[in-house]
Structure 1
Amino acid sequence: MRKLLFITFSVFISISSQAQNKKQMIFQAEIANKFGDFITFSNDQNKQIKKIQINKKGVFKDTMNIATGRYLLSDGNEFTIVYLKNGFDLKMKMDAKNFDESIVYSGKGAAENNFLAKNSIFEEQTDIDSLLASPETDFLIGMDKKKADDLKRLEDKKLDPEFVVLQKKSIDNNYNSIVKYYKKNYEANLAKSKLNNTASPSFDYENHKGGKTKLEDFKGKYVYVDVWATWCGPCRAEIPALKKIEEKYHDKNIAFISISVDVDKDHDKWKTFVAEKQLGGVQLFADKNWNSDFMKGFGVISIPRFILIDPNGNVVNSDAARPSNPELQNVLDSLLNQL
């Protein structure tokens, strides 16, 4: 992976076997509202292994000779994990504007890939940030339960045995990586709370609408900061909830700021994503991405990350609730009622 940009169960951990069947596989799809003219398949090294052109109707069909394993299928900025194996005759239907929730497979290989499609939704709904902020005993109990739930979902005799083996290895690797991350960064998580009630680090970033915007421009208002990136699945999953929060509080004394930590080479991708998704609030692009002073000041090492700052520029919560968490509205209502 790149840097450990976020810890979530949607981390792409792919384990491929080297054995191949002589028979090739067929993959075809109908994609409504496609983002691009091509879809790509990448392996666990994030290396593109196949690029297929999609016609104007969003349809494509291709034959592949491929090693059995898990791959990343991408359409523009969106992606999903697929299980491919020679001998499969796989058909996918999807609406790219409702990417994960709309994916449905049919044909040989459908059972395994429908499992992965549904599993990605479970993963994005996992509140890993709460676990990472928990005491060690609670964290381990929560992780053990998550692992048990993941394994239980595999209890289907109709699934390809080779797929089950790969998926169990992925679950084990994911569990171990998150536990390792927790132990390494527990002190950093504790340090977040020490930032509360202190002066917030500032920023002065490029604004999607033009010019630059700094924290001081919002003095006198509460500021809810969303640190995200276009490639981050859990970040994208929060967008609908964030839009609803922005709409509810649009006439209140609070500003909603989204700061992208995409790398410089993805600057244009960020601009396009914000426009296509019609993202609201104030959309900013961090200089030096992860090495920006604001990110380092808040110890941002995983995303999505939400920060709440008061009208005087002091930190209310350096690790605030997500938009999808009902607790956020309770907090905002309480604070705004005090003004």
Structure 2
Amino acid sequence: MKKLFFTALVLLSTLSGIAQKSKYMTFQGEIANKNGDAVYITDGKNKLIKKIQVTSEGTFKDTLHVAHGRYSLSDGNEFTIVYLKNGFDLKLKMDTKKFDESIIYSGKGALENNFLAKNSLFEEQTDMGSLLAASEVDFLKGLDKKKLEDLKRLQNTKLDPIFIDLQKKSIDENYNGVVKYYKMNYEANLAKSKLANTMSPSFNYDNYAGGKTKLEDFKGKYVYIDVWATWCGPCRAEIPFLKKNEEKYHGKNISFVSISVDVQKDIEKWKTLIKDKELGGVQLFADNNWNSQFIKDYGINSIPRFILIDPTGKIVSADASRPSSAELQVQLDALLN
């Protein structure tokens, strides 16, 4: 009886240890050419779950208590998707110069995570740019084909069923998200194309040089409009190219007009930037930032945005080429020379 009782105690103690251990997982790795001193694990809402320090040799090791699921693992420069679950003993090897191509997992949880690493390479091979530029019929056909290929790769009975369900959910969410993105951009591009060769909406905005300026003031000239804001990095990156175009076409039948959608409280910041950067052309300040009627009439929801209007006030392009694009100079040369 004593022996049986002792055996039962040992069994209970062992089971208790297993249960306790399953509340956590271990995660360790070796990173060649590390980019920083830590790796970061975030959830689907970009909430930081764990920051794990990386040694000078590029190794790390830690324990985590997680809700099983898909997470993002980042070295600060790039990221990859990982599947984490309490009870895992996961080991990673990676070279940041190759990143996804170099990722290899071992230990408990390796099967699902090696699947994710390989799957990310399939994603990179998909030419989403061409797909998004296709007709709606070809777009949907291409996306349906991709979805079937994604699901086919899950036909591995050794994968964790919970993992398979999460992947299927992710595939559906990605599919629906891409369809929504396509339709939104397709409709926006269609609206832009419909504006071509129609009379442009007008504006009447404060001019940095003083007074107000309206679109009709430029009648008889081509007008190249830059919609921007002081806080917009891509907008400011176009400034040097815009200035070069202004110089090239100085004296030609074209006016360069910049319209800021900064909020009213930043008007002094706008004025200071114009002075410091020695901006040329006509500098205007929209009367109600994004809600200005001219901005709404053109359906502008992202910047920079460029518009080209002909001497009669008709729209040549509601979404013209950027100053940094060689296409703009080809178009302007054809119009002005």
Give 2:326's aligned residue: 309
Mapped partners of 1:135, 1:186: distance in 2: 9
Contact in 1 for aligned 2:193/2:318 (Cα 8 Å): no
Q: Per the alignment, do residues 36 and 154 of structure 1 end up closer, same or farther by CA in structure 2, a change over 3 Å counting?
A: same
* Structure with the greater alpha carbon radius of gyration: 2
Give 1:231's aligned residue: none
**Equivalent residue runs for 1:293-304 within 5 Å:** 293-294=305-306
Contact in 2 for aligned 1:308/1:315 (Cα 8 Å): no
Contact in 2 for aligned 1:203/1:215 (Cα 8 Å): no
Give 2:244's aligned residue: 217
Give 1:182's aligned residue: 182
Mapped partners of 2:33, 2:146: distance in 1: 34
Contact in 2 for aligned 1:101/1:121 (Cα 8 Å): yes
Q: Deviations over 1:223-245 (max 9, x none)?
A: xxxxxxxxxxxxxxxxxxxxxxx
Runs of at least 5 residues in structure 1 that lack an aligned partner in the other structure: 1-19, 222-288, 317-339
Identity %: 59
Give the letter aligned to residue 46 of structure 2. Answer: N
The structural deviation recorded for 1:192 is 7.2
Bigger relative contact order, structure 1 or 2 (CA pairs below 8 A, ≥6 apart): 1
Match of 2:303 among 288, 291, 301: 291
Tell me the number of residue pairs that the alignment of Structure 1 and Structure 2 aligns: 222
Contact in 2 for aligned 1:72/1:80 (Cα 8 Å): yes
Mapped partners of 1:119, 1:151: distance in 2: 11
Contact in 2 for aligned 1:195/1:315 (Cα 8 Å): no
Q: TM-score, normalised by structure 2?
A: 0.57
Give 2:146's aligned residue: 146
**Equivalent residue runs for 1:18-29 within 5 Å:** 22-29=22-29
Question: Aligned Cα RMSD in Å?
Answer: 3.8
The structural deviation recorded for 1:41 is 0.5
Give the letter aligned to residue 30 of structure 2. Answer: E
Mapped partners of 1:133, 1:199: distance in 2: 28
Higher helix content, 1 or 2: 2
Q: Per the alignment, do residues 33 and 187 of structure 1 end up closer, same or farther by CA in structure 2, a change over 3 Å counting?
A: same
Q: TM-score, normalised by structure 1?
A: 0.56
Q: Per the alignment, do residues 199 and 150 of structure 1 end up closer, same or farther by CA in structure 2, a change over 3 Å counting?
A: farther
Mapped partners of 1:315, 1:100: distance in 2: 43
Q: Deviations over 1:261-313 (max 9, x none)?
A: xxxxxxxxxxxxxxxxxxxxxxxxxxxx9433459x9869xxxx9x9533725
Q: Deviations over 1:36-85 (max 9, x none)?
A: 11111001110001001100011001111111000011101211110000
